[in-house]
Amino acid sequence: MDVASAPAAIELVALTKRYAQGAPAVDSIDLRIGSASYCCLLGPSGCGKSTTLRMIAGHESVTSGDILLENRNITLLPAAARGTAMMFQSFALFPHLSALDNVAFSLKMKGVAKAPRHKQAQDLLERVAMGHLAQRKPGELSGGQQQRVALARALITQPRVLLLDEPLSALDPFLRIQMRAELRRWQKELGLTFIHVTHSQEEAMALADTVVVMNQGRIEQVGSPHQVYNAPATEFIARFMGGHNVIETHAGKVAVRNDHMLITPSGDGVDAMFGIAGTVTDVEYQGTYVLLGLQAQDAGGAKGVSVMLPEAQFTAQPYATGDAVHLSWAGDSAHALSA
């Protein structure tokens, strides 16, 4: 279903957060997040993504605008009354409590008796494959196990929307890949809306149905990972997502994926009127491919450009630093960028 027509779990209307001085942290953004979807808020540090998440959670006040959850205005409601739950970057588990009591803690605060709250907590720990470690304390668990406990603790409040604030950043690279697969599986099985803040392009593309790219408090682009990567709307997105060259042509500025660039030795029978001349400055072997860094001359002057070549292609025609080359691209590989 198209994002624009899907029922919205969360809708932000002219949402703004302004502190006492400086530019607004979040600048009048409008956003619809489809029900039972996985949405990643992506962008560099300071772009407003975490502030947006905290406003949705009720942990940050709203300067102006509205937050709707399933058409209910929750802008002024306390965090506990919103129907959302937050998974923090640090997991924020109580070190002196067992996994079971960590998960059951919110029910204890609501006055639920010990036996029923422990049963609910145990059921959720079983669901995230942690039932056998229910009596262990956080210090006796691995990072991935702590994350499962944190997820179960968030789910015990029966939220409609789960908010995740860089939940994988504290994990080692191997575990990060494993845990993002589990997050995706849990989201599908639970049928909840997940809103996940990250600065990792790879993480967002692996997880999201919808990627929301933010910059300087504003939304630059909303789309599927395929749309955002293959058709970046602006120069900022093309550069931030990586894997693109931003090239100034006589017709305007375009983005070309570095694996769609065509490279030949200079003077190798190519039409010098099309494409740009360059000099190889760096050669990086990456296993299945070789990444070439080049200094190229386009209509805007000398620019750094990268070209990704399959290993077999590089082996057949190797390049070394200092080599003069000619770069070009197929017409349908160039994506025009808006100002």
Residue boundaries of the structural domains of the chain: 8-230, 244-336
How many CB atoms sit inside 10 A of residue 166's CB?
19
Helix (H, G, I), strand (E, B) or coil at 7: coil
Give the pTM.
0.87
Are 93 and 34 in contact, with CB atoms under 8 Å apart? Answer: no
Q: Give pLDDT tens digits for 133-154.
A: 999 999 999 888 888 898 899 8
Q: Give pLDDT tens digits for 66-91.
A: 999 999 999 999 998 999 998 877 77
**Bridge partners of 68?**
11, 73
Round to whole Å and give the CA distance between 192 and 334: 37
Which of these, 322, 311, 325, lies nearest to 282 by C-alpha position?
Answer: 322
Average pLDDT over residues 158-171: 87
DSSP string, 204-236: HHHH-SEEEEEETTEEEEEE-HHHHHHS-SBHH
Round to whole Å and give the CA distance between 292 and 175: 30
| Domain boundaries 244-336, corresponding CATH code | 2.40.50.100
Give the fold, CATH level 3, of 8-230. Rossmann fold (3.40.50)
DSSP string, 301-328: EEEEEEEEEEHHHHHHS---TT-EEEEE
Q: Give pLDDT tens digits for 288-322.
A: 999 999 998 876 666 899 999 999 999 999 999 99
How many CB atoms sit inside 10 A of residue 196's CB?
26
How deeply is 261 buried, as exposed, middle or buried, from its count of CB atoms within 10 A (0-12, 13-18, 19+)? buried
List, in sequence order, the alpha helices (H) in 11-159: 49-57, 99-109, 114-127, 143-155
